Homo-oligomer: A and B are copies of this chain.
Amino acid sequence: MQVKTVTLNKSVFADNDAEAERLRCELKEKGLLLVNVMSSPGAGKTSVLSSLIDRLDAKVGVMEADIDGDLDAQAIAKKASRAVQLHTQGMCHVDATMTRQGMDEMGIEGLDLVFLENVGNLVCPAEYDTGAHLDMTILSVPEGDDKPLKYPLIYEKCSLVLINKIDTLSYFDFDLEKCKEHILFRNPNAKIIEVSAKTGEGMDEVAKYFEDLLETFKK
């Protein structure tokens, strides 16, 4: 699949929250679920999405936001029904206007689900509502169990947290129970799933989560 690269422009709206709410409602009316995926650089956003799309019986589009390059879009294009590379012009996050621009360029007709893979960053992306119906984050074992203590907002905002690279647990000083405590300290309602995009561990549970979500969403 040929992957288009789109250069995004910053929001012209003073109130990003209002534009995000507008986009969220429009997509809901169309029955299209938008998911905002955030994490540190290298936590495994693209590989988790690749593994997940393989397991989903749904038409999936993926928008890969990066400052430069199109490696992730090239990788995901082999899996998704549709994919687009978004360039943020050096910006550290994606806002609602940028999200809409990405969807317009990719085309959303016939899709059930769109993943926005945000810029790898635990701070800024959490500050901008993209219009997504679900915010999720991926914490990888090599990063350490203390991330929710250091980056509060992203963990407060995300209702789904995947702990990725769980297959490397024995190589790192990572306290899984403490990590879960830290996540739930920021958001007591967060759903936590341990996964390895590499071995596939836990990925069926993630797929089940999204299938249930899609079913509820379409009602």
Chain A interface (Cβ < 8 Å from any Cβ of B): 40-42, 66-69, 71, 90, 92, 119-124, 127, 140, 142-144, 146-147, 149-153, 165, 168, 171
Contacts and interface: CB of A to CB of B under 8 A. Distances in A.
A143 B121 CA distance: 13
Given A71-B149, A121-B123, 5 more contacts: A42-B140, A67-B150, A69-B149, A92-B121, A123-B124
B92 A144 contact: no
A137 to B, nearest CB: 11
A15 B71 CA distance: 36
A69 B165 CA distance: 25
A48 to B, nearest CB: 13
A68 B171 CA distance: 27
Nearest to A90: B153
24 contacts: A40-B120, A41-B122, A41-B151, A42-B143, A42-B144, A67-B123, A67-B153, A68-B149, A68-B150, A68-B151, A68-B152, A71-B149, A90-B153, A92-B121, A92-B124, A120-B122, A120-B150, A121-B121, A121-B122, A123-B124, A124-B124, A142-B142, A142-B143, A168-B171
B150 A41 contact: yes
A140 B140 CA distance: 12
A168 B142 CA distance: 10
Nearest to A140: B142
- Which of A66, A143, A149 has the most chain B CB atoms inside 10 A of its CB? A143
Nearest to A182: B69
Contacts of A143: 40-42, 142
